[in-house]
Amino acid sequence: MIKKFPKIIAYLAIRNPAYVIVDSVQTGEISATTTVKSKIATADAQAAMTLLQSLDSRALDSEYDSLGFNGSSIISLQVSACLPGYELLSPQICQLCPSNYFCSGGSAGSQACLAGTFSSPGANSSSECIPVVFIVVVIHLPIPKANFTEKIKLKFQTALSLTAQVLFD
């Protein structure tokens, strides 16, 4: 019965069972149950996010029930690490490394570039932090600080980069 487990997970993930690795099989909280920990290989952060969204209890119930695993449920889902150039924000999110930081990947977060250096988004090592001369611009905006959301921040950065004629990623 356990040999079917990777095939079911692979089917839910629309993957080949060879990409599903069973890490451990142990007695569940109740002796008549089994807890299986497995992992699925994905190519990149986007594929991992897509897979997390597709693996839900409803899909699992349908597939597992049809193969005799009635009453199965997902205990947890998480991304274990990110590729270089990305940082692990939570157990489920890999995000592109922001400007002025570098991200070595794995389960590490972002690390700031040294003072006087700068990196583009997605930098994956400190060698991508290059020496620069910063121009400090202080601008008064007619909106409350509480309204300065990420969307407004992006608009602000775009307007300033266009005004200064610098490329903005």
Q: What is the mean pLDDT of residues 81-88?
A: 88
Residues 5-25: tens digit of each pLDDT: 555 555 555 567 777 788 888
Q: What is the pLDDT of residues 143-159, one digit of tens each?
A: 888 889 989 988 888 88
Q: What is the pTM of this model?
A: 0.62
Who wins on pLDDT, 128 or 11? 128
Q: How far is CA 102 from CA 70, 84, 90, 118, 134, in A?
A: 46, 9, 17, 9, 18
Is 31 in a helix, a strand, or coil? coil
Strand partners, 169: none
**Helix (H) or strand (E) run with residue 7 in it:** helix 5-12
